[in-house]
Amino acid sequence: MRIIFTDHYESMSEEAAKIIAAQLWLKPDSVLGLATGSTPVMLYQKLIHLYETVGLDFSQATSFNLDEYVGLSPNDEQSYHRFMHENLFDHVNIRNERIFFPDGLADDAAAEGMRYEKAIEAAGGIDLQLLGIGRNAHIGFNEPADCFTRTTHKVALKGNTIAANARFFASEKDVPREAMSMGIGTIFQARHILLLASGAEKAQAVKDTWEGTITPAVPASILQLHPHVTLIVDREAGSLLTAKGKELA
């Protein structure tokens, strides 16, 4: 496991962009697992800049998004489908037929989960999975629970997750209560996992993830067992870490 400390959100985003760009330069047909939320916004801006200035090529890449709200259409302004198009896909040369999302409107959530798993398998598996982390250490929408969920599934969102996401909606009551999410097992199968955290409100989750007990009550803690994880934090998010071998960027 590798930890990279950065001074602030922008430098965290810059380091993450370098890793994703290197992945695409070394393997142009990479399968990327991508995340939404506020954490990767500047990372996506920097990837767009690399596309525009040095020709970072997305044309052979495939993307699978971590999650999508249940009940929101792809055109809904708060859907993750729309988020990804507005923040990345519409600004680079990725092909629409290589972009995949779990379907938040599927009538049969179990069947949709199986469909998504088969699509990832058919693509050859995920080469690099990008993750943010919630204040309760959720990754994707895998909330604290009694066990780790293996595959793509429908999840009921915890109150603190709903409250945290309310800033993107007109009010908290407008936040969907369910989502489709890759499971912990799906995430864990990625060949390289890139975990980003920014801000003091993420510090305890980062410490519990990296240095605490491995438990489904701290979903991201399972990443301690993955052979290739890179954690990039700014100073605030990494302020409680005591682990040796830190890198400075």
Residues belonging to the active site: 67, 136, 138, 143
Strand order of the β-sheet with 246-248 is 99-100, 62-65, 31-34, 128-131, 192-197, 229-234, 2-6, 246-248
φ, ψ dihedrals at 112, nearest 5°: -65, -40
